[in-house]
Chains A and B, each alone.
Chain A
Amino acid sequence: MADEDEIILAELSDDDLVAQMHDDLYDGLKEEIEEAVHILLERKWQPYDILTKALVEGMRIVGIDFRDGILFVPEVLLAANAMKAGMFILKPLLVESGAPRMGKMVIGTVKGDIHDIGKNLVAMMMEGAGFEIIDLGINNSVDDYLNAVEKEKADILGMSALLTTTMPYMKVVIDTMQEKGIRDDYVVLVGGAPLNEEFAKAIGANSYCRDAAVAVETAKDYMSKRHNQL
């Protein structure tokens, strides 16, 4: 159809606009997302509703197709970019309105490991899902992790490793948490190309996350369990 690109966002009903936003996130269309966020704000939507119903839900769909090998890193980066632009508008309003927070995660690649594309993707997708992310970057020691989770009052500790030689360091971190009696204060998620379920279990992590989408779903699960306990 010739007029396929001629969608006027402001003329769509709320439901259609939100569906369109899911599509536009999927396609990584930053300007369209910004415009749509402004339209919903003008229509007196709560910032928190825009975040969860439009942006987070849209990124959830992106995450599913990333997990299933339909979308790949370039598409996810574009989508995350568009999401970020929408978040940028909403962030001050969310703080103002005291919206509930999803949770806070400290994330970084372990000592000796300088590969960070996977870790960055997880951080982006977690942000896309509304989590607050403290990114420690690459090459983190036990102290780096433990100081950060304490200082930031994090809910989740995420560790990443790309090398088979660095992944055993995750166990050093978890063992230290055990020794200090703080292991159960945090959910520990691990990921990275050479890891698997079996390894995560062996070192005492809560879960292994195969990719960024799984990380988000797993983190959400743990957070809802935590809320239920309170």
Chain B
Amino acid sequence: MSKFNKLLSEKTTLLADGATGTNLFNMGMEAGEAPELWNVDAPENIEKLYQFAVDSGSDLFLTNSFGGNASRMKLHNAQDRVYELNFAAAKLGRKVADASGREIIVAGSVGPTGEIMGAVGTLSHEDASDMFYEQAVALMEGGCDLLWLETISAPEEYLAAADAFARADAPWAGTMSFDTAGRTMMGLKPADLVQLIKGIENKPLAFGANCGVGAADLLRTISGFADARKELDLDIPIISKGNAGIPKYVEGAIVYDGTPELMGNYAIMARNLGASIIGGCCGTMPEHLVAMRKSLDTIPAGPRPSFEDIEAALGGFSSKTDGTGEAAPARRNRRRG
């Protein structure tokens, strides 16, 4: 049994981490800079970032390697430093986790390539898989417990990563972003991800959603997972990593409007919907994580919240439906078959 599964079965719910970008910007990172470069250039800041999660009570944190694939690093002319930067991200994570005095999972963050795949795209399955493989090997050799694919929108990319992780013999988890009318940018519905995973041989240890619009939208997605998982008989834990509300422009800067209290409620609702790895994404600061830890530790499990309950507690949804049900919009009738 993997370390991740072991800890999950002991604790039944794991608290993941919060924002990477938002926290790094607070430490003085400039917009447009590659955060991964700090793994080597400012390792003390990255350790501090990881320490935020540890001190806030997280059971798991993600490494600072989200954009660490060759395709993204190329934009910073660092495509030949993929191994070095990912290895460093993992090694710093291992160091902080091991020094914490408790069991903490180090998850190697793997983000999208930023390229479009599939029929209309420019990136082939093989090339994408090779890029993910390069990153995967470095993260695992640097000391990660598992790999953590996140913010994916295309099924092709999810599959390419799954392939790469199989080749690297690495356990993994993978989340997508459902940010467009309840679906991913490429049109996937929550149930489509469950269906996709059904067909993957190298199955993730957990799957779910991250980022997207706000905490409310994210929970609607989790609800969709819970239904589809039951219907398709897929027994894999669900990850919920939502943003701390919605970004607002206040006096020249952007702030997320979700309070720690709101994120505490979000965590409880996520658990009651069936998620067992719960964390934040953009805008989720240490104080949010502390509130989430406290809620999860003190409030007992309750009944599954309805969409109305979610809206009342966390604010409205960004679209009427999540692409399912009778009210969902449908394609026009075509003349050709």
Contacts and interface: CB of A to CB of B under 8 A. Distances in A.
Interface of A: 1, 4-5, 7, 19-20, 23-24, 26-27, 29, 61, 65, 68-75, 77-78, 81, 111-115, 117, 138-139, 163-169, 171, 193-194, 198-199, 202-203
B173 to A, nearest CB: 24
A168 B75 CA distance: 21
Given A7-B336, A19-B335, A20-B335, 19 more contacts: A4-B336, A5-B336, A23-B335, A26-B332, A27-B336, A69-B319, A70-B329, A72-B184, A77-B116, A112-B30, A112-B31, A114-B114, A164-B254, A166-B32, A167-B249, A168-B252, A194-B247, A194-B254, A198-B248
Contacts of B323: 69
Contact of A74 (B21, B119, B336): B119
16 contacts: A4-B335, A7-B335, A72-B187, A73-B116, A73-B187, A81-B120, A112-B33, A114-B114, A117-B116, A164-B247, A168-B252, A168-B253, A171-B252, A194-B247, A194-B254, A198-B249
A24 B282 CA distance: 40
B112 to A, nearest CB: 10
Q: Which 10 A-B pairs have the closest CB atoms?
A: A69-B181, A112-B32, A72-B187, A112-B31, A4-B337, A164-B254, A77-B120, A165-B31, A199-B249, A70-B329
The SS class assigned to the A binding surface is loop
Nearest to A19: B335
A61 B33 CA distance: 39
Contacts of A74: 118-120, 186-187
B330 interface: yes
Contacts of B157: none
A203 B249 CA distance: 10
Interface centre among B249, B323, B330 (most CB of A within 10 A): B249
B187 to A, nearest CB: 3
Contacts of A163: 21, 31
B216 to A, nearest CB: 16
A138 B72 CA distance: 13
A23 B334 CA distance: 6
Contacts of A19: 335
Interface of B: 21-22, 25, 30-33, 75, 114, 116, 118-120, 153, 179-187, 247-249, 252-254, 282, 319, 323, 329-332, 334-337
B329 A68 contact: yes
Nearest to B283: A164
B183 A72 contact: yes
Contacts of B253: 168
Contacts of A27: 334, 336
A69 B336 contact: no
Nearest to A199: B249
A81 B120 CA distance: 9
B25 A165 contact: yes
A119 B31 CA distance: 18
B9 to A, nearest CB: 37
Nearest to B329: A70
Interface centre among B75, B187, B329 (most CB of A within 10 A): B187
Contacts of A166: 31-32
Contact of A193 (B114, B179, B183): B179
Given A139-B32, A193-B179, A194-B254, A72 B186 contact: yes
Contacts of B116: 73, 77, 117
A26 B186 contact: no
A168 B317 CA distance: 25
B336 A24 contact: yes
B247 A69 contact: no
A65 B337 contact: no
A23 B323 CA distance: 22
B32 A114 contact: yes
B337 A113 contact: no
